[in-house]
Amino acid sequence: MSPDTLPPQKYGPGVPEKLGENLTHIAREHSGDDETVEFSTKIVRGDVGYDEFPLSLREGMANANVRIACNYLRSALFGFERIRYIPANLIITMCGGHLSPILGIIENDNEGVGGNKIEDTNPLVAIFDTNHNYNGVYFVPARRLHEAVRSFDFSNRGPRALLLVEKNKTIFRALHTTL
């Protein structure tokens, strides 16, 4: 794969539908004469109930052919950064968001302190934050991540989303050679 395979980074709304289309386009454009890779995408909007949210994460993580990206509002996870420029930084903090890959999910063992059972399972989700200012990988309780994905995205005029991309198949074609 050549270094110019991925398009240059752009600032703008993190639209899951557009990312899915771009990945499919890149896969088709860079398939060789001997193979074709096909993808399908599933979008899980933040306005789904909490029970469906971790279920979608679990199902995606259980499939070796699925990769998950998450569009979330960081300030819903960690609070607001120190405001240096008002109101521009406040607006960016409220409206910003981006897509980061989900690396895994760690289930709650339902054991509380002293062996007491916890009724509410709230797994931890590993996120790789693609913004270099936020130290890469961190774990977030699934409920808090759901709230960050549920937050309103002004650029899309709706909730944010999970994007599950599945590699469906690779079709290999025999190369015909003449002697």
Read out DSSP for 106-119? E---SB-GGG-B-S
Per-residue pLDDT at 1 = 47
Q: What is the mean pLDDT of each run of 10 residues along the chain (179 residues)?
A: 56 67 74 72 91 94 92 74 52 63 84 55 86 80 91 78 84 55
Per-residue pLDDT at 97 = 63
pTM: 0.73
Consecutive H or E run containing 38: strand 35-45
CB 137 within 8 A of CB 103: yes
Per-residue pLDDT at 127 = 92
* Cis peptide bond prior to 87, omega within 30° of 0: yes
Alpha-carbon distance 108 to 13, whole Å? 33
Each residue of 32-62: b (16+ CB within 10 Å) or e? Answer: eeeeebebebbebbbebeeeebbebbeebbe
Beta bridge partners of 159: 152
Alpha helices of 12-154 — where are they, by DSSP H?
16-29, 52-62, 74-78, 88-95, 142-150
Closest CA to 149 of 168, 166, 140: 140
Structure tokens at 128: 């790789």
Per-residue pLDDT at 153 = 78
Per-residue pLDDT at 32 = 66
Per-residue pLDDT at 85 = 52
